[in-house]
């Protein structure tokens, strides 16, 4: 039995929701529209299912593409579009295509249930209104469509009732007593960027106008279900003016809404003229206005509106609904995490009243950093699919859930990614050294000032590098004594290089000593004393713990003296043999880049050097491969950017593409020139990847003390922060925690780090008082400008 280690406890979130679809209907087809309405009216979540008219050529307008994406549906159901065209349209929308006669046959479209399983039994007098075959199209779109007329004036199997009076459908919309609203019971958004409460929308249509009715349906499909209040009603242009008492009922409805928006009503239509819209507004006792349209959530909540209520009919209400959202009722639960399977146990946030199927989405910290790839989802569960920040499972509905999931580590996920694109992979020689060094110590130390440079300086050179150096000195005319001294100092490969701290170039004496000691603390270097034997001429390094009171040559055992530096013993430093070998094999640049990437995105993992064997018999080596905050990254790293020739860049980008990378990283220890950046960027764009560049400016930033902040700088920081707040207020926008942190950092200076309490305080103040802050902020900004002018003015002595 496989051993399972206990890894701790983690808080996770589950969302339960229906599997929803988009319907593909032939453009202008009333029959197709009614068929789609019939299906949507019988499904949990059906009101939020968009309907997409498709031309014979397969054209879909861009607005509808956007709506389908935002709706987050599972499949495209073909109602009456040519099958070949429908498959192409569905693929273009990123969805599978399901024929409508298979919508309940275990396909991706079938993971839902009838609304009755969500609402339970409704008493007959309170049953909502629904349209029948005899109803005009606007009633079917407004209230939901059952089809056949019931024999007894009631559908017991769907808990709805018909009506032959148009005004019933208008009034029922006011009181939210229409059948289609049953489909969104126990359903809503658990995350949304909705602009907030907005004006009521009265969409005016002809009785059987397919275009208007369809446009209204799609607008309402994206209406916030639970996160904001945006009432939407579909009214007939040739009837509404004759409904007795309806203007009064509409006024009562509008008078119950807190006035957090302007105007009270938006009248809109695709095909009804502006003149007729104004006439209908007059009949409904609405008054035109030119006030700026706004929406939002204000605190404290303003009082309800009062008659006369105002309207506009020149504003597209779609702007209020085209925002991202995530659907489902949620619950949080603790998971006891093991290295193998971990059990998910939670009570369903949705109460079902009969057999049903639903989707369950699991999210939380255990999924952070994992690439959203199908192969990684399959490691979690064979049926799992990625949806947003979590995984989705198709399950039978239960009052409580208990099932196992396996959460891979980033290392396991990285190995799986390579398994999917190679026949075999294994660490390269340098990669093995790098991985071992990663396990032994914190490679983030390489990012510290001087550490990387000191390791390189202490690395014992290869023999070919020694030969190159000697040839250069000989060409410069150096005498034989100087050549022998250089050869002795380098020591070949038999003797590891050792240097005193003050020989480390590019840093002060004090900094060099600190860096050398840092290497010792990391276990990468050791301190020692040096002797030079007068008898045999051997120079030798003696680790401090081996240095006795009397120095002896390790070669001939003759007595000798320790090297003196000025008036004291000279302490030398030498790399540990493993660190020396790793540096000699060129591993350090790989580890340095990995450390920089991990510093930027801690939810990451990288393999430093991997040999790749592909199924076509070819082999390659990748310098760095892994997961960078949920994205697959492949890197080529050079000591010198001059190695990035045109052919090298093409080879590197092609390899990253072959490995399925999202990001190609180009890195060098010196400066990458603009020409190489531009060429690499063009190749990456052609390959469908992002380019990331890291060079000296990112990896080895010069340590410089922060500039002193003058009184004028402090005033300017506060003035700029006040200006940013005013700009947000003028746009009637709330403030997110991230924006609050940015403004606080602006006020305190670039080195400041706002704490959570400060961020929460500013966010709460903006949400609570909103535009009330505009006046005080304007006065503060003006006062600061005056102070800055005074500081900038010359003093009397300077003027003289």
H or E element, residue 647 = helix 646-658
pLDDT recorded at residue 707? 44
Q: Is the pLDDT of residue 468 over 70?
A: no
Of 724 and 673, the one with more pLDDT: 673
Q: Is the pLDDT of residue 230 over 80?
A: yes
- Predicted TM-score of the model (pTM): 0.77
> Is residue 524 within 8 Å of residue 579, measured between CB atoms?
yes
Q: Is the pLDDT of residue 554 over 90?
A: no
Work out the widest C-alpha separation in the chain, in whole angstroms. 121
pLDDT recorded at residue 470? 53
pLDDT confidence band for 137 (50 / 70 / 90): very high
Detail the DSSP E strand segments found in 367-454. Answer: 385-387, 390-396, 400-406, 424-427
pLDDT recorded at residue 507? 78
pLDDT recorded at residue 491? 46
pLDDT confidence band for 245 (50 / 70 / 90): very high
CATH among 3.30.70.100, 3.40.1350.10, 3.40.50.300, 3.40.50.11030 for 597-699: 3.40.1350.10
Q: For 281-294, write each residue's pLDDT tens digit.
A: 999 999 999 999 99
Q: Is the pLDDT of residue 55 over 70?
A: yes
Q: Is the pLDDT of residue 704 over 50?
A: no
Q: How far apart are CA 330 and CA 508, in angstroms?
A: 58
Average pLDDT over residues 784-797: 69
Q: Is the pLDDT of residue 641 over 70?
A: yes
Q: How far apart are CA 216 and CA 218, in angstroms?
A: 5
pLDDT recorded at residue 545? 85
Of 700 and 336, the one with more pLDDT: 336
Of 545 and 317, the one with more pLDDT: 317
Q: Is the pLDDT of residue 795 over 70?
A: no
pLDDT recorded at residue 485? 53
pLDDT recorded at residue 564? 80
Q: How far apart are CA 199 and CA 262, in angstroms?
A: 6
Using the structure block, give the residue that is written with the tokens 């979590």.
Answer: 390
> Burial letters for 157-184: b for 16+ Cβ neighbours within 10 Å, e otherwise?
ebbbbbbeebbbbbbbbbeebbbbbbbb
Q: Is the pLDDT of residue 703 over 80?
A: no
Q: What ranges do the domains of the chain cover? A: 194-323, 325-408, 433-582, 597-699, 711-792
Q: Is the pLDDT of residue 412 over 60?
A: yes
- Rounded to the nearest integer, the mean pLDDT of the chain is 88
pLDDT recorded at residue 785? 77
Q: Is the pLDDT of residue 567 over 70?
A: no
Q: How far apart are CA 478 and CA 618, in angstroms?
A: 48
> Is residue 529 within 8 Å of residue 544, measured between CB atoms?
yes
pLDDT recorded at residue 108? 78
- 506 DSSP assignment: T
Q: Is 520 exposed, middle or buried (0-12, 13-18, 19+ CB in 10 A)?
A: middle
**β-strands 145-147, 200-205 pairing:** unpaired
Q: Is the pLDDT of residue 701 over 90?
A: no
As a 3-state breakdown, the chain gives helix, strand, coil percent values, each rounded to 5, of 40, 25, 35
pLDDT recorded at residue 413? 98
H or E element, residue 469 = helix 463-475
pLDDT confidence band for 493 (50 / 70 / 90): very low
Q: For 183-198, write each residue's pLDDT tens digit.
A: 999 999 998 887 889 9
Average pLDDT over residues 88-113: 92
Sign of CA dihedral 635, 638, 642, 647: negative
> pLDDT exceeding 70 applies to what percent of the chain?
90
Q: For 760-773, write each residue's pLDDT tens digit.
A: 888 888 877 777 77
> pLDDT exceeding 90 applies to what percent of the chain?
64
> Is residue 454 within 8 Å of residue 515, measured between CB atoms?
yes
pLDDT recorded at residue 414? 98
pLDDT confidence band for 440 (50 / 70 / 90): confident
Q: Is the pLDDT of residue 81 over 70?
A: yes
**Total length of the chain:** 800
User: Taking the CB of residue 696, how many other CB atoms lie within 10 A of it?
Assistant: 14
**β-strands 325-327, 189-192 pairing:** antiparallel
pLDDT recorded at residue 776? 83
pLDDT recorded at residue 151? 53
Both tokens of residue 311?
């309207």
pLDDT confidence band for 123 (50 / 70 / 90): low
Q: Give every CB contact of residue 149 below 8 A, 6+ residues apart in sequence.
A: 132, 133, 134, 162
Q: Is the pLDDT of residue 484 over 70?
A: no
Q: How far apart are CA 396 and CA 399, in angstroms?
A: 10
**Smallest Cα–Cα separation from 196: which of 767, 739, 737, 763?**
767
**Smallest Cα–Cα separation from 271: which of 221, 318, 317, 216?**
216
Average pLDDT over residues 400-429: 97
Collapsing DSSP to helix, strand or coil, 10 comes out as strand
- 701 DSSP assignment: -
Across 170-174, 436-440, 679-683, 764-768, least confident range: 764-768
Of 379 and 723, the one with more pLDDT: 379
- Find the angle CA(347)-CA(351)-CA(353) to the nearest 5 degrees: 135
pLDDT recorded at residue 160? 76
Average pLDDT over residues 631-658: 97
- 568 DSSP assignment: E
Across 109-113, 161-165, 630-634, least confident range: 161-165
pLDDT confidence band for 705 (50 / 70 / 90): very low
pLDDT confidence band for 152 (50 / 70 / 90): low
Of 298 and 732, the one with more pLDDT: 298
Average pLDDT over residues 132-156: 79
Q: How far apart are CA 224 and CA 549, in angstroms?
A: 83
User: Taking the CB of residue 120, how many other CB atoms lie within 10 A of it?
Assistant: 13
pLDDT recorded at residue 466? 53
Q: How far apart are CA 161 and CA 234, in angstroms?
A: 19
Q: What is the DSSP string of 266-282?
A: EEE-SSS-HHHHHHHHH
Q: Is the pLDDT of residue 445 over 80?
A: yes
Q: Is the pLDDT of residue 713 over 80?
A: no
């Amino acid at each position: 039995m496989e051993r399972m280690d206990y890894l701790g406890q983690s808080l996770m979130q589950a969302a339960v929701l229906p599997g929803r679809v988009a319907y593909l209907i032939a453009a202008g087809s009333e029959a197709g529209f009614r068929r789609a309405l019939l299906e949507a009216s019988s499904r949990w979540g059906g009101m939020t299912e968009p309907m997409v008219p498709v031309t014979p050529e397969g054209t879909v307008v861009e607005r509808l593409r956007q709506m389908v994406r935002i709706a987050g549906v599972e499949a495209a159901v073909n109602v009456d579009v040519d099958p070949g065209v429908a498959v192409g349209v569905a693929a273009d929308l990123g969805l599978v295509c399901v024929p409508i006669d298979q919508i309940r046959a275990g396909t991706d479209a079938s993971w839902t249930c009838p609304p009755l399983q969500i609402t339970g039994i409704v008493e007959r007098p309170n049953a909502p209104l629904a349209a029948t075959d005899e109803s005009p199209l606007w009633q079917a779109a407004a209230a939901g469509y059952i089809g056949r007329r019931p024999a007894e004036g009631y559908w017991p199997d769907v808990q709805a009732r018909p009506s032959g009076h148009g005004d019933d459908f208008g009034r029922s919309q006011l009181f939210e007593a229409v059948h289609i609203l049953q489909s969104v019971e126990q359903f809503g958004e658990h995350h949304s960027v909705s602009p907030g409460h907005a004006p009521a929308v009265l969409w005016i249509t002809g009785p059987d106008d397919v275009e208007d009715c369809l446009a209204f349906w799609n607008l309402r499909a994206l209406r916030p279900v639970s996160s904001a209040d945006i009432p939407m009603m579909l009214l007939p242009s040739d009837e509404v003016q004759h409904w007795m008492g309806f203007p009064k009922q509409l006024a009562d409805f509008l008078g119950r809404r807190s006035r957090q928006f302007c105007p009270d009503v938006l009248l809109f239509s695709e095909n009804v003229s502006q003149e007729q819209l104004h006439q209908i507004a007059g009949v409904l006792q609405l008054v035109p206005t030119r006030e700026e349209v706004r929406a939002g959530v204000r605190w404290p909540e303003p009082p309800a509106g009062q008659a006369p209520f105002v309207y506009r009919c020149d504003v597209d209400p779609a702007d209020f609904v085209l925002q991202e959202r995530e659907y489902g009722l949620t619950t949080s639960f603790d998971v006891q995490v093991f290295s193998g399977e971990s059990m998910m146990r939670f009570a369903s946030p949705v109460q079902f009243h009969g057999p049903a199927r639903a989707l369950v989405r699991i999210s939380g910290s255990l999924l952070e950093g994992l690439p959203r790839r199908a192969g990684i989802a399959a490691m979690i569960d064979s049926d799992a699919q990625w949806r947003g920040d979590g995984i989705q499972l198709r399950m039978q509905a239960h009052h409580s859930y208990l099932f196992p999931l396996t959460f891979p580590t980033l290392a396991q996920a990285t190995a799986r990614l390579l398994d999917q694109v190679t026949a075999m992979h294994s660490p390269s020689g340098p990669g093995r050294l790098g991985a071992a060094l990663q396990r032994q110590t914190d490679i983030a130390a390489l990012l510290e000032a001087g550490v990387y440079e000191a390791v390189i300086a202490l690395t014992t050179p290869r023999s070919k590098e020694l030969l190159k150096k000697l040839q250069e000195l000989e060409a410069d005319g150096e005498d034989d004594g100087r050549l022998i001294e250089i050869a002795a100092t380098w020591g070949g490969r038999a003797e590891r290089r050792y240097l005193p701290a003050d020989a480390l170039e590019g840093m002060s004496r004090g900094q060099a000593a600190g860096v050398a000691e840092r290497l010792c603390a990391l276990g990468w270097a050791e301190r020692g004393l040096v002797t030079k034997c007068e008898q045999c001429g051997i120079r030798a390094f003696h680790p401090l713990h081996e240095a006795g009171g009397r120095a002896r040559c390790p070669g001939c055992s003759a007595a000798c003296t320790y090297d003196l530096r000025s008036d004291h013993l000279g302490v030398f430093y030498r790399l540990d043999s493993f660190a020396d070998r790793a540096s000699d094999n060129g591993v350090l640049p790989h580890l340095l880049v990995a450390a920089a990437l991990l510093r930027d995105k801690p939810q990451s993992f990288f393999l430093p050097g991997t040999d790749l064997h592909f199924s076509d018999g070819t082999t390659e080596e990748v310098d760095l491969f892994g997961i960078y905050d949920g994205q697959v990254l492949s890197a080529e790293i050079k000591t010198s950017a001059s190695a990035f020739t045109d052919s090298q860049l093409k080879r590197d980008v092609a390899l990253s593409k072959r490995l399925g990378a999202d990001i190609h990283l180009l890195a060098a220890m010196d400066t990458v020139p603009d020409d190489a950046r531009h060429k690499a960027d063009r190749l990456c764009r052609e390959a469908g990847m992002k380019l990331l560049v890291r060079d000296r400016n990112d990896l080895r930033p010069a340590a410089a003390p922060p500039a002193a902040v003058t009184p004028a700088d402090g005033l300017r920081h506060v003035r700029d922060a006040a200006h940013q707040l005013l700009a947000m207020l003028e746009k009637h926008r709330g403030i997110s925690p991230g924006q609050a942190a940015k403004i606080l950092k602006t006020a305190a200076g670039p080195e400041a780090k706002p704490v959570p309490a400060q961020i929460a305080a500013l966010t709460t103040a903006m949400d609570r008082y909103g535009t009330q802050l505009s006046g005080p902020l304007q006065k503060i900004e003006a006062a600061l400008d005056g102070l800055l002018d005074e500081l900038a003015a010359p003093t009397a002595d300077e003027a003289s």
